[in-house]
A = this chain, B = another copy of it.
């Protein structure tokens, strides 16, 4: 690791590679820096590479071209995931339940069981959650795709198999088949969820705008 002050050649190579939009060869660097000798550029690159070896950014050579890149052990910083726990909406829960009880099942079948139209997004959410998957196509006219539950679904809901799901009679005994006038509620909920999703996207934008605003203020 070089600790002494870098000389001007090194600084110039450093700045050039930093600002370049593409990796640069020794020759291109030499040319850019007013016709330096290749050997000098090579020495400079060598010393820069050593300097950056234990930093958060590395100087690397790929196919004779040099560029800076994030240290491999920090690559995870480039792509962060922010997890957010959300409760499944009632509409999505209904669809999931129908898939679980009737699988494999097509969207049209789900709709006919639910008695209401099902937003495309609802199935997407369930796929994203990893609880349902495509299970081929039904060999009927139109060959609709059919859905089935996954192992993850069983894990999440603590079921060892689909047979663990209570049957209709048990549901009745538990009073779960008592009519509830909730088709409207479910639809309402679906609409609300959609609205919320779009609001969240907006909020995100606003946050950013706010951040900008705050930063922009002159320290008068």
Contact = CB atoms under 8 A, between A and B. Distances in A.
16 contacts: A5-B54, A6-B55, A11-B54, A15-B70, A15-B74, A15-B78, A16-B77, A16-B78, A18-B57, A19-B77, A27-B211, A33-B77, A65-B215, A148-B216, A161-B218, A162-B220
A103 B15 CA distance: 35
Interface of A: 1, 3, 5-6, 10-16, 18-19, 25, 27-28, 32-34, 54-57, 63-65, 68, 70-71, 74, 77-78, 80, 103, 148, 150-151, 161-163, 211-212, 215-216, 218-220
Chain A contact residues: over half helix, strand or loop, or mixed? Answer: mixed
Contacts of A33: 77
A218 B71 CA distance: 25
Copies per assembly: 2
Contacts of A55: 6, 11, 14
Nearest to A28: B211
A151 B70 contact: no
B162 A18 contact: no
A123 B161 CA distance: 50
A70 B216 contact: no
